[in-house]
Amino acid sequence: MQAQSSVVKSSLRLTLAAVLMFGFGFAMVPLYDIFCEITGLNGKVQQSVITTDMQVDRSRLVKVQLIAANNAEMPWRFTSLQDEVELHPGDWKQVGFWAANVTDNYMVSQSVPSITPARAAQYIEKRECFCFQQQPLEAGESKQMNLVFTISPDMPDDIHTVSMVYTLFDASAYSEANKLVARVD
Amino acid sequence: MTSVVTSHEDGHHGPAKGLMRWVLTTNHKDIGTMYLWFSFTMLLIGGAMALIIRAELFEPGMQLIEPEFFNQMTTMHGLIMVFGAIMPAFVGLANWLVPMMVGAPDMALPRMNNLSFWILPFAFGMLILTLFSEAGAPNFGWTFYAPLSTTYAPSSVTFFIFGVHLMGISSIMGAINIIATILNMRAPGMTLMKMPLFVWTWLITAYLLIAVMPVLAGVVTMMLMDIHFGTSFFNAAGGGDPVLFQHVFWFFGHPEVYIMILPAFGIVSQIIPTFARKPLFGYASMVYATASIAFLSFIVWAHHMFTVGLPLATELFFMYATMLIAIPTGVKVFNWVSTMFRGSMTFETPMLFALAFVVLFTIGGFSGLMLAIAPADFQYHDTYFVVAHFHYVLVPGALFAIIAGVYYWIPKWCGNYYNETLGKWHFWLSFIGVNITFFPMHFVGLAGMPRRIPDYALQFADFNAVASVGAFIFGFSQLLFLYIVITTIRGNNKASAEVWEGAEGLEWTLESPAPYHSFSEPPEVK
Amino acid sequence: MISRTGLRLSSVITAMFVSQSAAAEWGLNMPQGVTEVSQSIYDLHMLIFWICVWIGVLVFGVMFYSIYKHRKSKGAEPSKFHESLTLELLWTAIPTLILILMAIPATSTLVKMYDASDAQIDIKITGYQWKWEYDYLGEDVRFFSNLATSKDEIYNKQEKGENYLLEVDREMVIPTGVKVRFLLTAADVIHAWWVPEFAVKKDAIPGYVNEMWVNVPVGKEGIYRGQCAELCGVDHGFMPVVVRAVSQDDYRAWLAEQVAAKAAEAAAALGDFSHEELMTKGAEVYASRCAACHGQNGEGMGTVFPALKDSAVALGDVQKHIDVVLNGTPGTAMQAFAAQLNDVELAAVVTFERNAWGNDTGDTVTPKQIIDARNQ
């Protein structure tokens, strides 16, 4: 009988471990985001909360390429209005993208940012970005969407070029009205 | 075979009669037998798929099947072999042997044991039936990377997910049972460091299963939610990330690789000392090496993702961690060789398969070390070099160890020796077939042939034809194995209790065939 | 079929016994490639390979010595030793040292590969099911690159060409002696762009940009071929990568040519086309771009790809048909072809679809209608 109760005890303990590991699988989602933020993996950028101006580093200019891309399922026209800009680290810069919904339906878009080189991502600060929210457009409507950003002067000075790519996705299925479960970002 | 086994029942504790015996049985030997037959059936089905793949790849051009069906074949072949053939075979061996090796009457949780087996036929039945659905079977590879397996998947993906859930539950229950048995049911005096290595490797494997099968369940649950409930774990449109899928999948996937090889280490560590007539060299270091491999398996997953675009520091970390695995694995190989050194060896079929395991698994280990070197992996990744690598560790690795184990213990299971001449034929055909199949894959991979393609450029033609010939030799040799096993069950070449001259361990103190309930009285362990 | 297979079998069997020089032509090893990086990767590969070979010789040597000497049939008596701390420590320490020796060159090569900074040319590569798009950043040059091998070759109705499955309609062109950076992404599923001779391979992931680079030395001008390396759906095996490396002068000339050709195309679209011209051109475009999903004869494929023969779109309103081809159908597998095909090609393929396989609408869609639809 002693043996039987210890069997039950270890089985319960192991079942609990399995349940916890199932939870751990889901916990990898936020853990991964933290990992991305630390390493700049995926070019995910923190939404900037910095409002005070930083020290501008006038000694160097960084070239920033602005690139628009479409997901295959996204029929909108989407282009960047400036192919590239140059700025001193610490200087705020406003650039524009232009989007046109050429379909016959109301659609909602989501832009997904990605930055190379990945190690530059953590030094990009954005005050305003169309990628922060979903952007809806009526059928046939078009508009300019803005991005206000800077590069932290702390960025290593061997990085001379930064590419910021925005991919436009059809997020109509994930629009606020349709959203069942939101992933915390 | 029912009639055969029942004919051995002697006295009071015999099994019930008829079909219901198998449906309702809680006996570890019955369940072990069912696991082994199930996995052999899956081996033949998955093998038939492999032969369809190799037949199409025999020469350039599309001849026999369409690319869409080719993708279904590669996917189903992988899933069936990993989850249907290799893993259940190890669980079957554990069911048969763990109670006998630790001196227990049966498994700790016999009813759960029954349930964990009977889930499997349903899981795989459902998976295989998707082949006949209108949308076709899953076609996104056994690694099912999102978004190919979510946004772009055929509708059968839901059945696939449900099937994975079922087999996951089965594995977890099996693992709980094995740990509970090993921790609680050992005969007095059987301390942990006296356990046979097969029991040790299975104990560690079972912990790995409990740690990672739930993560697999988690990742397919996320897929299910993305597909049907509007979440976006892996879809960038809703704020998700397809790379996250790969991290979660390989967090499961790499330990999974060791789940498929650690019990094989255990089997080989039982067989080599027997036929070398010499105790296993470095028992304690074998245990520690197994534990270190299991530990390392949790911190190397991203070496499957070297070309995904990881940051440099991450890439370096995973490269160094992966290279470390070579050390404990090397220790194991050195120990096996030292066990043979100055032994008194004979070469019965189990020993032949075990020796082939040591050599060919080591070759798979070498290519594994090469793959660990991140810069070189940029050339190897997703080519036939990788296909060659993991088939070397899984076929002449895991599968040869399982076959060796069957030959080694089958006289104990059914009381008869197998036909040694046919066994040697089976070995040599398999050994030659496996090398003709998989060795040329190293060459085409290095020369630049990507994996998972139904048709290829002309410079890869010759080696592909060679590989296809080998695959048919290897595949059809396994029918000989089936014949040998059946004739052994029906045979009357009676085996002694000890079976092998040099065999050590509690299972050999039981008569052959082993009684229906292993140790009703705890044996004495010296 | 049988005789062809038999022929193949016999050639394989002969080939297995021919000399090593023939084996070398089969391509046994990793290519050394043409760049500094590909050479260091090759050196690394060979270094590890030989280390593995020597370890193998040593370990299997001891093993086969025991198998030969210490067998019962030779009367070998088993010894009883089963432990040696010294040995265990030794064969933990020595492999560790070897691994450290391997890690040093591996690390430096990796660092070199990761440094894509200060490139002079940037090309954005986008993977689609199942083709590549090359966009020369800062230049007005952007095009798709599709498999050029015909279905007849693939289905053994025609002799296979030398570059079977490794040829495209428009290859990427890069100059030699210049660092070229690739920005890699995908529009649908994950792909991987790979040219073995450059040792450049990386995953193309939707919504995610990876970078890699190549610097082909002057004097190594030529055509380099590769393939998609990540399973990306049914035609994964049919999306090759072809790069033509040319001198810097030729590269500049090529760029100018592309810009001029584009202008000429736009001008041509304003010209007149007969119904027959459009049908002929349309049949070509259909075969290369549409047939993979919609079937050789417009019969469709499975439940995902609808038939075009007798379909509501092909027989219905012309504007709607143009709209579907230009902009795709959201939520389905139908892509937008606005950026992939020019006005003449689009007009031709729509005309073709409305008049082929018994779809007898008699409509002729002109390039001007496409231009209007684009500007709508």
User: In this predicted model, what pLDDT tens digit does every residue of C106-131 receive, in sequence order?
Assistant: 999 999 999 998 899 999 999 999 99
Query: Is B303 assigned a catalytic role?
Result: yes
B428: left (phi over 0), alpha (psi -120 to 50) or beta: alpha
As a whole number of angstroms, the distance between CA C265 and CA C315 comes to 29
B8 has catalytic annotation? no
User: Does pLDDT of A76 surpass 70?
Assistant: yes
Which residues of chain A are within 8 Å of residue C187 when distances are taken between CB atoms? 69-72
Exposure string of A79-102, with b = 16+ CB inside 10 Å and e = fewer, is: ebeeebbebbbbbbbebebebebb
Write out chain B's pLDDT in tens, 526 residues: 333 344 344 444 567 777 888 888 999 999 999 999 999 999 999 999 999 999 999 999 999 999 999 999 999 999 999 999 999 999 999 999 999 999 999 999 999 999 999 999 999 999 999 999 988 999 999 999 989 999 899 999 999 999 999 999 999 999 999 999 999 999 999 999 999 999 999 999 999 999 999 999 999 999 999 999 888 899 888 888 899 999 999 999 999 999 999 999 999 999 999 999 999 999 999 999 999 999 999 999 999 999 998 888 889 999 999 999 999 999 999 999 999 999 999 999 999 999 999 999 999 999 999 999 999 999 999 999 999 999 999 999 999 999 999 999 999 999 999 999 999 999 999 999 999 999 999 999 999 999 999 999 999 999 999 999 999 999 999 999 999 999 999 988 899 988 998 888 999 999 889 988 888 888 888 7
Cβ separation of B247 and A28 shorter than 8 Å?
Answer: yes
Write down all domains in chain C, each with its CATH number in brackets. 29-114 (1.10.287.90), 121-266 (2.60.40.420), 270-375 (1.10.760.10)
pLDDT digits (tens, 9 = 90+) for C77-95: 888 888 888 999 999 999 9
Q: Do A21 and B211 touch (CB under 8 A)?
A: yes
Cα angle for residues C158, C159, C165 (degrees, 5° grid): 95
Reply yes or no on whether the pLDDT at A176 is more than 80: no
β-strand pairing of C180-186 with C121-128:
parallel
Measured distance between the N- and C-terminal CA atoms of chain A, rounded to whole angstroms = 52
Neighbours of C250 (CB within 10 A): 15
pLDDT confidence of C9, banded at 50, 70, 90? low
| Per-residue 3-state assignment (H helix, E strand, C coil) for B236-267 | HHHCCCHHHHHHHHHHHHHHHHHHCCHHHHHH
Question: Which residues 300-319 of C are in CB contact (within 8 Å) with B?
Answer: 301-304
Output the pLDDT for position A43.
55
High-pLDDT (> 90) share of chain A, %: 26
Give CA torsion, residues C253, C255, C259, C260, to 10 deg: 20
**Minimum Cα–Cα distance from B212: chain A residue:** A21
pLDDT at position A125 is 86
Q: Please name the helix (run of DSSP H) or strand (run of DSSP E) that holds residue A111, with its range, or none.
A: strand A107-116
DSSP state of B85: I
pLDDT at B13: 54
Residues B69, B24 contacting (CB under 8 angstroms): no
Question: Which positions in chain C touch A172 (Cβ < 8 Å)?
Answer: 330
pLDDT for the residue C1: 42
Structure tokens at C11: 């050639």
- For chain B, the residue count is 526
Kindly determine whether residue B238 and residue A7, on different chains, have CB atoms separated by under 8 Å: no
Q: Decide: residue C163, CB within 10 A, 0-12 exposed, 13-18 middle, 19+ buried.
A: middle
Segment C6-18 shows an average pLDDT of 53
Q: Which helix (H) or strand (E) holds C201?
A: strand C200-204
The whole-number pLDDT of residue B199 equals: 97
- Indicate yes or no: CB of B447 within 8 angstroms of CB of C166: no
Show residues of chain A in contact with C209, CB under 8 Å: 43, 67, 114-116, 163, 165
Q: What is the ipTM of this complex?
A: 0.90
Assess whether B241 carries a catalytic annotation: no
Mean pLDDT of the region C333-354: 85
- Whether the ω angle into residue C130 lies within 30 degrees of 0, i.e. cis, is yes
Closest CA to B343 of C69, C58, C86, C87: C69
How far does Cα B432 stand from its chain's mean position? 21
Residue C11: pLDDT over 60: no
Task: Confirm if B312 and A117 have CB atoms less than 8 A apart.
Answer: no
The residue ranges of DSSP E strands in C66-199, in sequence order, are 121-128, 131-136, 141-145, 172-175, 180-186, 191-195
pLDDT number for residue C368? 85
Inter-chain residue contact B320 with C103, CB threshold 8 Å: yes
Give the largest CA-CA distance in chain A.
Answer: 80
Q: Which of B466, B439, B441 is nearest to B451 (CA)?
A: B441
Q: Which helix (H) or strand (E) holds C214?
A: strand C210-214
- With contact defined as 3+ CB pairs under 8 Å, the chains touching B are A, C
Instruction: Give the sign of the dihedral formed by CA B328, CA B331, CA B333, CA B339.
Output: negative
Q: What is the mean pLDDT of chain C?
A: 87
> Cβ(B393)–Cβ(B333) under 8 Å?
no
Residue with tokens 């010209």: C271
Q: What is the pLDDT of residue A47?
A: 55
Find chain B residues with C-beta within 8 A of A24's C-beta.
214-215, 218
Domains (range + CATH), chain B? 25-110+253-509 (1.20.210.10)
Who's near C63: CB < 8 A, 6+ residues apart? Answer: B337, B340, B355, B358, B359
CA distance C185 to C207: 7
